[in-house]
Structure 1
Amino acid sequence: MERTEVEDSLNLGDLASVKTKDGFFAGKVEDFGESSIKLSNPKNGLCKRIAYDYIMEYDVGRLPSTDMARIGLDSQSRMVAIPGKDYVVGATPVTQRLYEKVMGENPSYFQTSNKKLDEALQCILSREGNTQNNPVENVSWYDVVYFCNKLSILEGFTPAYSVDGERDPQYWGYKPHQKEPIGSKVCCDFSCNGYRLPTNDEWEYAAAGGEDYLFPGCDSMDEVSWNGENSNGVTHPVATKMANAYGLYDMSGNVCEWVWGSEDEIGSSHDNRGGCYSSSEDGCIFANWGDGAASAFRYKNIGFRLLRKVC
């Protein structure tokens, strides 16, 4: 993979913004121009180096307001390059903050404003502050493809998904966060540079991190995941557990993640991967597959992670 030619750049103190033909990127000044980026693991103090072509690190308030519509709007929403592949993957599942910024509402079940939560769960969530950095959940597979195209358009990328040839989701005749499917077949153009869901193979490759562990990053479930034994029955802020070797967090536990399934998949159900806050050890092993879930339904244990082709 060759590094994309920079068309414009702007120094923002200890951050730099770089614009290429594929879009706007931001990161630490010292990271640009290097062939690798150092990732620190807060759990054990170890540092690992991974090859990369792009890293996007979005920091609210640090970038010009004119660029805010083109970026992910929260510091958790960075995309990490996968060595040997032509795509970047979200370092974490999409957060409630990012989802609400793009879609205008937060449908998540696990948020302190949800009056349907019992008092005990409200207390657990409140201890960690607001839930804006928790993974978004309670979103259907159709909501997710809508979100992906909307974010792609906001950032100036070519949307990957289309319905009846239309890539702009506002013309799909679909209202997000309802229990209705999109009326026609959803197609994916894998050559586009817009955001999309990983396929099963892409998700599993990213989760493995180039290593031979039972869970993404190590053989200890609790080190890498919020699961049925340590979560107290709720989601938790992303990136609070150990990352794998690629710098990806929460590939096991916290929330299951919608995937495309296969490059030609259509149908009323789709796969989900990774296990969630209520999963057993077997459910958190990254090689395991979740049962196919109804595409139009919203589940409080299923969120998603972004992928984007970069060359």
Structure 2
Amino acid sequence: MAADPLHNLDLNLLLSLDALLEERNVTRAAERLGLSQPAVSAALRRLRRHFGDELLVRTGNRYDLTPLATQLRGTTTTALAGVRRVFEAEPGFDPETSTREFTVVASDYSATVLGDHLATEVAREAPGVRLRFQLQTHADVDQAPESLRHVDGMVLPHGFVHEVPAVELHTDSWVLVVSADNDAVGDAVTMEELAEMPWVVTHHAPTAFTPAVRQLSMIGLDPDIHVVTESFLPVPFLVAGTPRVALLQRQLATRLAGAAGVRTLDCPWDVLPLKEAFWWHPSHRADPAHGWLRRMMARAAARLDQPH
């Protein structure tokens, strides 16, 4: 029987590896870990021997990651989160005394419109609990449910993840966003006008897309895409001062319109609503702390429907 590769490995090296890959500097990594610089240098030597790779290479007056180190950066963070989850497990859960950290994968849209309500609900019952919002990537979605094993859950609309449990959260609608000074567009816009306008879209890929933009193509209008962005927050700022148009969630557009200098318009087609849910791996089912988190997620989502 082959020996377990972890048998002779000090798992403290995972902490050092995570800090070194993030900081790309031994001194800063040592400060982050609360260790001496010689101790972290020794850890780097052990890691180099283990992987048979330099991991950090000097380029001028800075250090760059090797290709292997770049590959390890994402998996190290995920692995470290998994280790923390193992040692944070409790037979019971007392929110008043817990210091557990919950990791929620979310887009910048979800973190913006739902995150503050979730943080408020959590702080009310569990002052020592910490929330970590991890920016959602295409891989998180494409590799679910495997990616859900290493976090507490993911906020995502229906239609992307299947065969895992979910907590229904909230429904949002879509609006069009144009520059506040775009005099070529009145208080309403037609489908013909939209076909002629330059577009800003988000997540334009076969398995990563904005559902409302996909629907637009399905009803026969192929947007003239000029700008693609991998997040939602920049969208109104990429529209402001230009003839561009974009689709944005109403909750987010309402918050950003004034600061960005844009205005919103109703869609001239029957656009499908956005139904958000909190998706989680079945392995969390018996975890009382996770059950509490799911209740906090539902309570935070309910606040979105309350009048301000």
TM-score (norm: length of structure 2): 0.24
Give the helix-richer structure, 1 or 2.
2
Structure (1 or 2) with the larger CA radius of gyration: 2
The structure, 1 or 2, with the larger RCO (C-alpha pairs under 8 Å, 6+ apart) is 2
